[in-house]
Amino acid sequence: MDTQGCTAHCPILSGCDTLWSHIRRRFDRGNLLQRRQDHISAAQCGAMSQLHHPGDYGMTKRFSAVFFDAANTLLHPDPPVGELYARTARKYGVDVVGTDVQAQFRRSWEALQGKAVGDPVRYGIGEADGRRWWHALVAETFRPLGLPQPFDVFFDELYNLFADPDVWRVYPEVFEVLEALKTRGLIMGVLSNWDIRLGPLLEGLKLMAYFDHLVLSAVVGWEKPHRRIFESALELVGFPADEVLHVGDNYQQDVVGAQQVGMYAVWLRRRGTQTADCPVISSLGDLVTIIDGTN
């Protein structure tokens, strides 16, 4: 979701109190909602833009903190989203193929993104559990394929399924990279367009122990690439923007979003060979080399 902005709007639905209490205690929700109001001057932005030249990889001892995107950067669903949707739908009488669901999911995602930009409250953007957004997206995905019935029961099962660590896989190099960065004394965090299911999911995947901060769009109320979510991350760590690095797989959300507040950015391209106005890596294993400034 690339919603360009809405104010924090996070009512906690009944039945979520226990989960939210856990998240609030673990990740300090109050700090996550803070937003930096001091904008970088035009002169500072100009200076920062020079630092994003592809050849400027000498970063030894520069960084104090590193933030990571989550999906397709640290972890990915396995099997893919379309297959998980199709398997669950077949239990409710809708015989569909995973590839067909995946294609329709992507079309529905793009369609709802556009609508949500104009009417974020209607689609639940900024609500901590993200249920209303996902309910609308799942319904839109299955409308042309056949709606599983009873739909709300089907949706609840699907929503809970994606909170289960068993349907997610951590990329092979991730633990080694996080361990290496931790030993270098870096503050680390996750900055993601996600809802409050991500914290327990990272715990279940044994990842959360490496991170000091978790910045969630559904809690902050702004989604990447909006500057407010990156400013929230900067407020949490308390370092100047040019001492903070963000790594992610989506150029618009992760690179452009980070650069606009003066942060360094590294684009993770697990497939493809595109160049960009920032370092481009094909594996997180290359990140340690960039940070050490040895390439």
Residue with tokens 């920032």: 278
Question: Are residue 198 and residue 274 in the same domain, yes or no?
Answer: yes
> How far is it, in rounded angstroms, from Cα 67 to Cα 248?
9
Mean pLDDT of 38-62: 38
Classify residue 6: in a domain, yes or no.
no
Q: What is the pLDDT confidence band of residue 271, given thresholds at 50, 70 and 90?
A: confident
Quick check: bond before 77 cis, omega within 30?
Answer: no
pLDDT at residue 221, as a whole number:
87
Question: Are residue 155 and residue 199 in the same domain, yes or no?
Answer: no
* Cα–Cα distance list, 219 to 48, 76, 235 (Å): 28, 22, 15
Q: What is the pTM of this model?
A: 0.79
Q: What is the pLDDT confidence band of residue 98, given thresholds at 50, 70 and 90?
A: very high
Among 133, 149, 166, which residue terminates a domain? Answer: 166
pLDDT at residue 62, as a whole number:
84
Question: Are residue 286 and residue 155 in the same domain, yes or no?
Answer: no
Question: Are residue 280 and residue 228 in the same domain, yes or no?
Answer: yes
Q: 3-state DSSP call for residue 153?
A: helix
Question: Are residue 278 and residue 176 in the same domain, yes or no?
Answer: yes
> How far is it, in rounded angstroms, from Cα 188 to Cα 197?
19
170 DSSP 8-state letter: E
> How far is it, in rounded angstroms, from Cα 83 to Cα 96?
9
Q: What is the pLDDT confidence band of residue 118, given thresholds at 50, 70 and 90?
A: confident
Range of the domain at 36: 17-74+171-292
> How does pLDDT run across 229-262, given as a tens digit for each residue?
999 999 999 999 999 999 999 999 999 999 999 9
Quick one: which of 41, 40, 51 has its CA closest to 277? 51
- Higher-pLDDT residue of 33 and 220 is 220
> How does pLDDT run across 128-141, given as a tens digit for each residue?
999 999 999 999 99
Q: How many domains does the chain have?
A: 2
> How does pLDDT run across 162-180, given as a tens digit for each residue?
999 999 999 999 999 999 9
CB 220 within 8 A of CB 267: no
Residue with tokens 């797989």: 249
